């Protein structure tokens, strides 16, 4: 497949038009309430052209740049998971009848999404979801049905944010697989265009329908140089060498108390993380007592009830919950799924109200390691 074409801004609009004509709901980055969110877009003008973001621990700001760039912002606050693995889903409904009750298992007509401008780290997170919710022993029906219909247009990163560390996690800043199209935005010599890497037959078929030109060797080299520059400018780094073993051996390290004193157990870090997938299931009965809905909703390991087993919760303290979360991301996920539970997107650092930074905490455990 691997060939690359050059697309103008108008061609990008044609791409969106073509997707919409095929009944795709196009999801892309847009500004809403002074932040970038990932949601439905109708046209290229909905993208945050001329805006950039500043992200640091507990800090998020947008500012105008005066540049026409569409992708000067890094990732959005919410990832694609809101669309493929909704935060709330009705699984079944039951109603009382004269001599018994009926149960209706909910089956949705899955929406057909085109994920436009999804970042390489988020694409890597999707591969982890695929592994967990499609390929292991059980699959998730809602995720599977939506995922199968999804068309993916990734946007390679040419500017990382202050909390990004995808280069340390081998999950960016360039998309390497799993996309239909991967775009790199170029503005040079007064020209504004995109190099599109074609990753699937359906993308090739789509590209044939819109105006495009073969990318020159110079264009491809320039696009790659922008991505390499981004790799060198990561806001954070994480030393992953032997990290799993260090974390396991430091389960009782007193540093967990220090971070536990700061953690508010608000769960923000789990709600923004593109690799978190825990849910809980609850039954809601209406006031008549005749109808009930079984609803699955996202859960967080920071909730007290999350670890409730007979008689009480296993993790009652904030340090135990933070330790559980970080250990899952960087150690136990490896043993469960043979991959890291972190793609280095940095969202948990940006959106933590207590400015707790996973890279700092992992490095503090390494530094104060008691047994390794
Ligand atoms: S680490 Fe930060 S975001 Fe996560 S639960 Fe604690 S205070 Fe909230
Ligand atoms: S743990 Fe933090 S940096 Fe890693 S994938 Fe989740 S939100 Fe991103």
92: tokens are 């079944």
For residue 317, what pLDDT band results from cuts at 50, 70 and 90? Answer: very high
User: Rounded distance, CA 138 to CA 155, Å?
Assistant: 31
For 87-139, what is the HEC assignment?
CEEEEEEEEEECCEEEEEECCCCCCCEEEEEECHHHHHHHHHHHHHHHHCCCC
Ligand 2 centroid–CA 224 distance in Å is 25
Q: What would the mean pLDDT of 337-350 be, rounded to a whole number? A: 97
pLDDT > 50? residue 223: yes
Of all residues in the chain, what percent carry a pLDDT higher than 70? 98
Q: Which atom of ligand 1 is nearest to the CA of 351?
A: 3
Q: What are phi and psi of 309, to 5 degrees?
A: -125, 175
Atom number in ligand 2 closest to CA 344:
3
The tens digit of pLDDT for each residue in 276-300 reads 999 999 999 999 999 999 999 999 9
Ligand nearest to the CA of 264: 1
* pLDDT tens sequence across 52-102: 999 999 999 999 999 999 999 998 999 999 999 999 999 999 999 988 999
**Largest interatomic CA distance in the chain:** 77
- pLDDT-based confidence at residue 31 (cuts at 50, 70, 90): very high
Q: What is the distance in A from the centroid of ligand 2 to the CA of 171?
A: 11
Mean pLDDT, residues 25-34 = 96
Other beta carbons within 10 angstroms of residue 72's beta carbon come to 19
> Residue 368: pLDDT above 90?
no
Give residue 165 CA to ligand 2 midpoint distance, Å.
9
pTM reported for the whole predicted model: 0.95
Taking the centre of ligand 1 as the mean of its atom positions, its distance from the CA of residue 230, in whole angstroms, is 28
d(CA 127, CA 362): 24
Q: Under DSSP, is residue 217 helix (H, G, I), strand (E, B) or coil?
A: helix
**Across-strand partners of 337?**
none
Q: If you measure from the C-alpha of residue 184 to the centroid of ligand 2, how many angstroms do you get, rounded to a whole number?
A: 23
Q: Whose CA is nearest to atom 2 of ligand 1?
A: 352
With CA atoms as reference, report the closest residue to 182 among 115, 263, 276.
Answer: 115
Distance separating alpha carbons of residues 370 and 17, to the nearest angstrom = 58
| Number of the ligand closest to the Cα of 322 | 1
Residue 135 confidence (pLDDT): 82
The arithmetic mean of pLDDT across residues 133-152, rounded, is 92
Alpha carbons 4 and 370: distance in angstroms, whole number: 51
Determine which residue's CA is closest to atom 5 belonging to ligand 2.
Answer: 342
Model pLDDT, residue 372: 46
pLDDT grade for 113, boundaries at 50, 70 and 90: very high
Name every residue whose Cβ is closer than 8 Å to that of residue 244 and which is 6 or more positions away in sequence.
330, 331, 334, 335
- For 130, phi and psi rounded to 5 degrees? -60, -45
Q: Which of 122, 341, 358 maximizes ligand 2 atoms within 8 Å of its Cβ, making it the mutation to test the pocket?
A: 358
What is the average pLDDT across 107-135?
Answer: 96
């Amino acid at each position: 497949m691997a060939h690359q074409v050059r697309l103008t801004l108008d061609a990008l609009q044609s791409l969106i038009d073509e997707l919409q004509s095929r009944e795709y709901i196009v999801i892309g980055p847009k500004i809403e309430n002074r932040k970038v969110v990932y949601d439905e877009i109708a046209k290229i003008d909905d993208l945050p052209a001329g805006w950039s973001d500043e992200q640091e621990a507990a800090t998020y700001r947008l500012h105008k740049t005066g540049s026409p760039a569409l992708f000067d912002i890094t990732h959005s606050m919410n990832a694609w998971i809101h669309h493929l693995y909704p935060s709330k889903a009705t699984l079944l409904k039951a109603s009382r009848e004269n001599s018994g009750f009926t149960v209706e298992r909910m089956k949705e007509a899955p929406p057909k999404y085109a994920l436009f401008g999804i970042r390489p780290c988020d694409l890597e997170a999707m591969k982890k979801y695929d592994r967990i919710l499609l390929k292991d022993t059980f699959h998730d029906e809602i995720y599977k049905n939506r995922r199968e219909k999804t068309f993916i247009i990734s946007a390679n990163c040419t500017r990382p944010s202050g909390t990004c560390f995808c280069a340390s996690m081998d999950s960016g800043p360039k998309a390497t697989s799993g996309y239909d199209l991967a775009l790199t935005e170029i503005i040079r010599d007064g020209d504004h265009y995109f190099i599109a890497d074609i990753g699937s037959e359906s993308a090739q078929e789509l590209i044939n329908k819109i105006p495009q030109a073969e990318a020159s060797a110079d264009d491809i080299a320039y696009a790659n140089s922008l991505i390499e520059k981004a790799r060198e400018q990561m806001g954070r780094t994480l030393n992953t060498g032997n990290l799993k073993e260090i974390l396991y051996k430091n389960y009782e390290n007193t540093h967990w108390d220090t971070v536990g004193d700061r953690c508010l157990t608000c769960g923000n870090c789990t709600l923004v993380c593109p690799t978190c997938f825990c849910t809980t299931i609850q039954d809601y009965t209406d006031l008549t007592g005749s109808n009930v809905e079984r609803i699955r909703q996202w859960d967080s390991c920071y909730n007290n009830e999350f670890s409730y087993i007979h008689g009480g919760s296993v993790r009652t303290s904030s340090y135990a919950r933070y330790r559980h979360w970080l250990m899952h991301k960087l150690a136990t996920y490896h043993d469960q799924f043979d991959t890291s539970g972190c793609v280095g997107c940095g969202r948990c650092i940006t959106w933590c109200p207590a400015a707790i930074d996973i890279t700092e905490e992992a490095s503090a455990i390494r530094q104060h390691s008691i047994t390794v």
